[in-house]
Amino acid sequence: MSDTYEPVALNACPVIHAFAFGSLLWMKDTDVDRVAFYNDIADEVTDSAKEDFVVTADIGLARGYHAIDAMFRTFVAIPLTWHGSQWWLGESASPIDSRPRLLNEMSQAERLAEHLRRHGPDLWPLANVLERAYGASNELVRGYPERAAAGLSLVVGLIAKRSSRALLRALTLESIDLVRALRAIETP
């Protein structure tokens, strides 16, 4: 690639953008709240058009950890609660803010996914969610927070696909909160 390559027409924090666009895949059915969600993204895009807009690697990584923390403790917790897997949620009570903590959480997710796989097809959708959560986390371990955020959006999408309308709204509101929290992270 030429080193004179110009930026794309619009830029934004790659972590927020990846989560936002992936989320639009499943938000199409929640007519009102998704507008609020996109307005937040529009604000991010507007801010990123300013000359002093910078997302450093440290900020990107901090946002990645925050997103993955929300994935395990907020989003993945929803279907796990349906299944009654409280034993794991209890261990997830403290924030996932470091590599050792994340690796531990991934190990838990892997074990639970394998456990669910052995119980037959009815639990495979939940195993899929956990395996995707593992995959998203693994991207963060490898140093790619934007890929982790994109993976998170697929995790939430899988949960949303099997959710009631009320829960869809809840997932949308949680997503709005997450984007606002990510935007608020300016220093790790």
Which residues contribute to the site for other proteins (CB under 8 A)? 1-2, 5-6, 8-12, 17-18, 21-29, 35, 38-39, 41-42, 45-46, 110, 113, 128, 131-132, 134-135, 144, 147, 150, 154, 157-158, 160-161
Alpha carbon distance 156, 154 (integer Å):
5
Q: Which amino acid is at 43?
A: D
Minimum Å distance from CB 10 to other proteins? 4
Alpha carbon distance 109, 71 (integer Å):
12
Name which of 130 and 185 has its Cβ closer to other proteins: 130
Alpha carbon distance 163, 104 (integer Å):
28
At 53, give phi and psi (nearest 5°): -70, 125
Q: Helices marked H in the chain — which ranges?
A: 14-24, 33-48, 57-70, 77-83, 86-91, 99-117, 124-141, 145-161, 165-184
Name which of 89 and 110 has its Cβ closer to other proteins: 110
Q: Mark residue 143 as left, alpha or beta (left: phi above 0; alpha: psi -120 to 50; beta: remaining).
A: left
Minimum Å distance from CB 9 to other proteins? 4
Minimum Å distance from CB 103 to other proteins? 13
Name which of 85 and 153 has its Cβ closer to other proteins: 153
Name which of 22 and 64 has its Cβ closer to other proteins: 22
At 6, give phi and psi (nearest 5°): -90, 150
Name which of 1 and 93 has its Cβ closer to other proteins: 1
